[in-house]
Amino acid sequence: GKEWTDVSDLVEELAGSEVLIRGRVHTYRQVFMILRQSGSTVQCVAKQSEETNVSVNMLKYLKQLPCESFVDVIGLVVLPKDPIKGATQQVEIHMRKVYCVNKALTKLPLSVEDAARSEEEIEKSFQPKKPGGKAKPFSRVNQDTRLNHRVLDIRTPANQAIFRIQCGVENFFREKLLSKDFVNIHTPKLMAGSSEGGSAVFRLEYKGQSACLAQSPQLHKQMAICGDLRRVFEIGPVFRAEDSFTHRHLCEFVGLDVEMEIQKHYSEIMDLVDELFVFIFTSLNEKCKKELEAVGKQYPFEPLKFLEKTLRLTFEEGIQMLKEAGVEVDPLGDLNTESERKLGQLVLEKYNTEFYILHRYPAAVRPFYTMPCADNPLYSNSFDVFIRGEEIISGAQRVHIPEVLEKRAGECGIDVKTISTYIDSFRYGAPPHGGFGVGLERVVMLFCALNNIRKTSLFPRDPQRLTP
């Protein structure tokens, strides 16, 4: 009839009491077993004493238990003489009884202990501890090994934290939008045509008819606005048949999408981006402190620099800054990855922020549904948002005039027949509107300055990976 205590709740106040805990065998050395539960660890000692008599049989049994096995431990909470280095909890458990709940394989494809080491720790292990001694280098776990055995890899403290941070971003996004009277919608992922155009679309057969997997909720979130929902958001899967294998593209990712009526100007959409993301970043820093620290322990990073009021630069201002720094870019073309990075650096130096909005993009590089600028149709009422020099958001005011929309779709090589129901929606009366799309995995990756989007996707799908 004993209740289990969480490892994270094992604190000094419990000293002297007997507890029952369940966790994994993280490591076992001499008489010390480190028990792990999610990101928390506690040192359990097999001591022969009057108070905690551990039988010789139990010791033998413990020694042969493979790492990662699940055990129940009954033991006495004791304050340690010296600070404990190898565990998160600052109490020791003197074991009285141990039961194995479920045994793991003796030879695991990767060791969680190895997978949790920082690059610095690994580097250091190549030096001998004592001069003239022999070094005992730790092995590096490469990314493919991690992803092939993702269930084991997810168990590291940094990964435990990453997916809690991801959950935080999603919750703060939803919380803020609900407080502003947005409606949470769900749009179909099976579509008759492609929503973003281009080649990066997965095609499939749908009951004898050709179909696509949604490249974004773009068309249907706009149709929801035509349906008078006024302000909507969606959190859902987005599919892109990306060809290139990069550090920031997945073939399936989580899209955070917003669409809203606007009164006068597309700056209303950027105002929302500003308020929403300052709220998300502030909430992360306040409510996910422990998690951010855990990520930083394995992958050290500086906290994101952002302003209370998000900086806005026009595309023209951006390319002027690049030009002054000796980088020539096409004034009516798109920025490539390298010039986006460079501009991020320049903005950081000049404005001391790593989060900013670049707007009024050249019309030619934006999707067909983007509203051109009233004063100059070579530019558009659109924007991208960057964290540490990399894109996390694209957004814009949309064309709500059906004839213009039809023409633009045709010019962009889209088969207008496949999106006729979308274009028709604007023939029944449509308000001026706009919105944006955010890549969840990119937000987490860039907030924590991680170097690869696969680190922030639980089971990533990329051009070479469809399992696990």
Q: Which residues are catalytically annotated?
A: 240, 242, 248-249, 391, 394, 442
Using rule CB under 6 A, residue 193 touches ligand AMO:
no
Least distance (Å) between residue 423 CB and ligand ATP: 22
- Of the candidate spans 6-14, 183-191, 332-340, 370-378, the one that interacts with ligand ATP by CB under 6 A turns out to be 332-340
Residue with tokens 């859902």: 236
Nearer to ligand ATP (CB atom), residue 78 or residue 445:
445
Residue 468, preceding peptide bond in cis (omega within 30° of 0): yes
Binding partner at 147 among ligand ATP, ligand AMO, none, C-beta below 5 to 8 Å by kind:
none
What residue type is assigned to position 311 of the chain? L
Using rule CB under 6 A, residue 366 touches ligand AMO:
no
Using rule CB under 6 A, residue 451 touches ligand ATP:
no
Least distance (Å) between residue 158 CB and ligand AMO: 20
Least distance (Å) between residue 322 CB and ligand ATP: 13
- Taking Cα atoms as reference points, which of 379, 339, 336 lies closest to residue 360? 379
Least distance (Å) between residue 361 CB and ligand ATP: 10
Using rule CB under 6 A, residue 395 touches ligand AMO:
yes
Sequence length of the chain is: 468
Using rule CB under 6 A, residue 394 touches ligand ATP:
yes
Using rule CB under 6 A, residue 439 touches ligand AMO:
yes
One residue of 68, 153, 234, 242 binding ligand AMO per CB under 6 A: 242
Nearer to ligand ATP (CB atom), residue 53 or residue 336:
336
One residue of 337, 352, 451, 452 binding ligand ATP per CB under 6 A: 337
- Of the candidate spans 17-25, 182-190, 285-293, 330-338, the one that interacts with ligand ATP by CB under 6 A turns out to be 330-338
Least distance (Å) between residue 278 CB and ligand AMO: 18
Least distance (Å) between residue 370 CB and ligand AMO: 8
Least distance (Å) between residue 258 CB and ligand ATP: 15
- Of the candidate spans 159-167, 205-213, 226-234, 436-444, the one that interacts with ligand AMO by CB under 6 A turns out to be 436-444
Letters for 202-241 (x = contact with ligand AMO by CB under 6 A, - = none) are --------------x-x---------------------x-
Using rule CB under 6 A, residue 166 touches ligand ATP:
no
Q: Nearest 5°: phi and psi at 299?
A: -125, 85
Nearer to ligand ATP (CB atom), residue 284 or residue 335:
335
One residue of 49, 139, 246, 452 binding ligand ATP per CB under 6 A: 246
Binding partner at 244 among ligand AMO, ligand ATP, none, C-beta below 5 to 8 Å by kind:
ligand ATP
Using rule CB under 6 A, residue 199 touches ligand ATP:
no
- Of the candidate spans 52-60, 62-70, 137-145, 437-445, the one that interacts with ligand AMO by CB under 6 A turns out to be 437-445
Least distance (Å) between residue 218 CB and ligand ATP: 11
Cα distances (angstroms) measured from residue 124 to each of 65, 115, 117, 139, 388: 30, 16, 11, 12, 29
- Taking Cα atoms as reference points, which of 295, 319, 311 lies closest to residue 353? 311
The structure tokens listed for 163 are 């997916």
Positions touching ligand AMO (CB under 6 A) are: 196, 216, 218, 240, 242, 249-250, 253, 255, 257, 391-396, 435-439, 441-442, 453
